[in-house]
């Protein structure tokens, strides 16, 4: 695939770039980029410590709570070829161009089965402080269509990756708030969400009303400072509030 940048950023793409630039947070930005480019998913991952992507990850994603919990439970971070290559690469790459071993291919097949997308693209960024980040995006487009999409959007995607990198660095420069304290029922409802259960199923499991479950999930999300349940699950796992 030709990874050369597109020469002109069209007005509609400029709007997406500005939406990412003016988003209130990285969390908000990944959803804006996903929706603006009509993708399956967008994920931003920064290596904060400089020692390795697992040591102290800063991750914001549009992935579902079910996939996030599955990813954690199956310890996919240690075998994810996108992470491995993304934090070593200096140039963008398409997922299908990677050489993967049998376990990595199993992980990618599982991701496709859970709606992550058949094809993906990753843009690495490194700044003068040696902080690295990767912006990954995926789609179910046919391969030829995906290649054309990347060829026509490469400059836009690289610019968005750089914007998110600097926004993440700014967010991380702020004093980190203490971990959220969830009530037992809030944590329990969030845990079952991470296991792929909806409010109705959780209500049956915990012998609560569906309204009460939704209320617990809403307050848990608010305490964690997240816009979506997917992000709340990811943050709760990262802060070790829940362990799916």
86-99 pLDDT tens trace = 999 999 999 999 99
Tell me, yes or no, whether 154 and 234 share the same domain: no
Other Cβ atoms within 10 Å of 65 Cβ, number: 24
CA distance 1 to 151: 8
What is the extent of the structural domain holding 202? 184-238
Tell me, yes or no, whether 44 and 160 share the same domain: yes
Tell me, yes or no, whether 159 and 223 share the same domain: no
Sheet with strand 93-94: strands edge to edge: 57-61, 41-47, 132-139, 119-126, 93-94
- Per-residue pLDDT at 51: 43
- Per-residue pLDDT at 130: 77
Buried b (16+ CB within 10 A) or exposed e, 168-177: bbeeeeeeee
Tell me, yes or no, whether 27 and 115 share the same domain: yes
Tell me, yes or no, whether 135 and 213 share the same domain: no
Collect the ranges in the chain with pLDDT lower than 70.
1-9, 48-57, 174-179, 244
| 127 in a structural domain | yes
Tell me, yes or no, whether 22 and 103 share the same domain: yes
To 10 degrees, what angle do helices 143-173 and 26-37 make? 160
CA distance 106 to 115: 15
Other Cβ atoms within 10 Å of 210 Cβ, number: 14
Give the three-class secondary structure for 118. Answer: coil
Domain boundary among 173, 195, 223: 173
CATH code at 191?
1.10.10.10
Question: How many domains does the structure of the chain reveal?
Answer: 2
Tell me, yes or no, whether 68 and 19 share the same domain: yes
- Per-residue pLDDT at 238: 78
| 5 in a structural domain | no
| Single pTM value for the model | 0.73
CATH code at 105?
3.30.450.80
| 53 in a structural domain | yes
Tell me, yes or no, whether 100 and 26 share the same domain: yes
Point out which residues pair with 138 in neighbouring strands. Answer: 41, 120
Residue with tokens 């980029």: 33
């Amino acid at each position: 695939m030709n990874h050369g940048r597109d020469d002109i950023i069209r007005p509609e793409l400029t709007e997406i770039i500005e939406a990412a630039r003016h988003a209130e947070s990285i969390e908000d930005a990944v959803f804006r980029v996903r929706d603006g480019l009509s993708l399956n998913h967008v994920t931003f991952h920064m290596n904060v410590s400089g020692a390795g992507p697992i040591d102290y990850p800063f991750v914001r994603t549009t992935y579902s709570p079910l996939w996030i919990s599955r990813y954690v439970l199956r310890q996919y971070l240690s075998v994810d070829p996108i992470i491995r290559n993304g934090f070593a690469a200096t140039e963008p790459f398409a997922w299908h161009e990677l050489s993967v071993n049998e376990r990595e291919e199993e992980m990618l097949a599982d991701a496709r089965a859970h709606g992550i997308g058949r094809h993906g693209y990753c843009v690495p960024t490194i700044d003068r402080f040696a902080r690295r980040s990767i912006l990954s995006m995926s789609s179910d487009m046919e391969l030829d269509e995906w290649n054309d999409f990347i060829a026509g959007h490469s400059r836009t995607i690289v610019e968005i990756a750089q914007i998110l990198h600097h926004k993440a660095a700014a967010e991380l420069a702020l004093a980190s708030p203490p971990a959220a304290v969830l009530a037992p029922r809030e944590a329990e409802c969030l845990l079952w969400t991470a296991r792929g259960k909806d409010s109705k199923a959780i209500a049956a499991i915990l012998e609560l009303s569906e309204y009460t479950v939704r209320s617990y999930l809403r307050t848990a999300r608010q305490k964690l400072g997240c816009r979506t349940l997917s992000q709340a699950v990811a943050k709760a796992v990262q802060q070790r509030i829940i362990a799916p």
